[in-house]
Amino acid sequence: MFDTTTLTGGEPPVSNRFTLVIDNVPIGMFLEVSGLEVTVGVEEYLEGGQNGYVHKFPKGITWPNLVFRRGITNSDALFDWVNRSSGEGFAANHDKLVRTTGSVSIVDFEGKPMRTWSLIEPFPVRWVGPRLSAKEATVLEEEVEVAHHGFTSRTAK
């Protein structure tokens, strides 16, 4: 069995400390990130006379959008990025999307990256603000959905 503590210098990896960086600007830490996955499509080919199996060939790769969720912060970095691909920010760039660079990193207890997923041309496609209610005293959260053209993954050295 593989010992996961070798990745972290003795500490087991945890999924509650990760950061988002866009164009070298730290957007912040998030409560949840979903969508770090890739699916390789398969094309099947039935060969005449071959009844033991169906040939399978790889075809298109799909990357679902990433969804980031966190508590409201006093930083404007996330919403500034959202504004560059929508509304006045988008219009100011003659309705052209400026593709960016980005990364999601799992960090250890000292804040050092353990594994990083480098996003290819990410851009925000949806932002959801906090649910406001005078009847409840709940943590205010925001969510952003990010489209991209894939990612690469590497561990820290």
Predicted local distance difference test score (pLDDT) of residue 102: 95
Predicted local distance difference test score (pLDDT) of residue 88: 83
Assess contact for 128 and 142: CB atoms under 8 A.
yes
Assess contact for 153 and 117: CB atoms under 8 A.
yes
Predicted local distance difference test score (pLDDT) of residue 146: 96
Predicted local distance difference test score (pLDDT) of residue 47: 87
Q: Does domain 4-155 have CATH number 3.30.70?
A: no
Distance between CA atoms of residues 98 and 84, nearest Å: 8
Predicted local distance difference test score (pLDDT) of residue 13: 58
Q: What residue ranges in 7-97 does DSSP mark as E strands? A: 18-22, 25-29, 32-34, 39-45, 55-62, 66-71
Q: What is the residue extent of each domain of the chain?
A: 4-155
Q: Please report where in the chains the tokens 């969804």 appear, as a residue.
A: 67
Distance between CA atoms of residues 100 and 54, nearest Å: 41
- Residue by residue, pLDDT tens for the chain (157 residues) are 444 455 555 556 555 678 999 999 999 889 899 999 999 999 999 988 888 899 999 999 999 999 999 988 888 999 889 988 888 888 888 888 878 899 999 988 787 888 999 999 999 999 999 888 889 888 889 999 999 999 999 987 7
Entry pTM = 0.81
